[in-house]
Amino acid sequence: MNYFLEITSLPDYPVKFGKNNPNVDNSIDLGNFVDPALLNGALHYVDAKNGNVPFEKLVAYDAMSSVSGGIVISSRLKELIDTHFPHQVQLIECDIEYKGQVANGFYALNVYTKVPCYDLEKSVYEVSPVDKSYDFEKIVLAEGPLEEYGIEYHIVRSIHDNKIVVSEAFKKLAEEHSINSLGFLKEFVMEW
């Protein structure tokens, strides 16, 4: 079984992609591989001034969504991904400046592998006649492994709308290691 990855740490995005970073934020948000030559050190995330979460609580999250910079994960989650699912995502070192303090040991999670992972027969959607994009009302995930060209993945993006999907193995590993701030949804229904 596969699951939509949901970041549950905060309803608001506490940090944003810093202004002094190389121009790679859209790449991370869209799941495009970032050329390491563009990076010269850690990326920087700063306080988005969207909430009042204490610094100590913020740095205890294993995952958080950011404004214009994708998902930021802890070194604990990074180690699990490196150990069990190496070379499936790009993990870019970053730091967080929040409420006047700086925290190191975080990573921007760049999920750049895009595969077909939806059961389009069970999903409810329309295809735009203009650009052929998908507008989903309800998404049902396909059963079976997340694979393409005979390679099985555990962390991917959907080719239809860029949502992040993970395998049962990823979910079990996160639960076994008490990784916080992650939720796993079996299907996705748009709320109007």
- Tens digit of each residue's pLDDT, the chain (192 residues): 999 999 998 767 899 999 888 888 788 988 999 999 989 889 999 999 988 899 999 999 999 999 988 999 999 999 999 999 999 999 999 999 999 999 999 999 999 999 999 999 999 999 999 998 999 999 999 999 999 899 999 999 999 999 999 999 999 999 999 999 999 999 888 765
Q: Structurally, how many domains does the chain consist of? A: 2
* Chosen domain end from 60, 94, 110: 110
- Tell me the C-alpha distance between 173 and 84, whole Å: 9
Same domain, 142 and 173: yes
What's the pLDDT at 13? 87
SS (H, E, C) the chain: CEEEEEECCCCCCCEEECCCCCCCHHHHHHCCCCCHHHCCCCEEEEECCCCCCCHHHHCCCCEEEEECCCEEEEHHHHHHHHHHCCCCCEEEEEEEEECCEEEEEEEEEECCCEECCECCCCCEEEECCCCCCEEEEEEEECCCCEEECCEEECEEEECCCCCEEEEHHHHHHHHHCCCCCEEEECEEECCC
- Residue 86 located in a structural domain: yes
- What confidence score (pLDDT) does residue 6 get? 95
Same-domain pairing of 23 and 98: yes
Specify the pLDDT at position 68.
86
Same domain, yes or no, for 63 and 30? yes
The label of the residue with tokens 């970053």 reads: 94
Judge if 133 and 179 occupy the same domain: yes
Same domain for 98 and 45: yes
The verdict on residue 1 lying in a domain is: no
Q: Note whether residue 123 is domain-resident.
A: yes
Q: Is the dihedral of CA 30, 153, 184, 4 positive or negative?
A: positive
> Is residue 3 domain-resident?
no
Specify the pLDDT at position 73. 98
Strand partners, 184: 5
Per-residue pLDDT, 72 = 97
Domain boundary among 95, 110, 125: 110
Domain stops at, among 110, 127, 148:
110
Are residues 91 and 118 located together in one domain of the fold?
no
pLDDT at residue 125 in the model? 94
Co-location of 16 and 99 in the same domain:
yes
Same domain, 21 and 68: yes
Q: Is the residue at 131 inside a domain?
A: yes
Beta-bridged to residue 110, according to DSSP, are: 90
Separation CA 64–CA 109 (nearest Å): 10
Say if 4 falls within a structural domain: no
Give the pLDDT score at 192: 52
Q: Structural domain of residue 25, as residue ranges?
A: 10-110
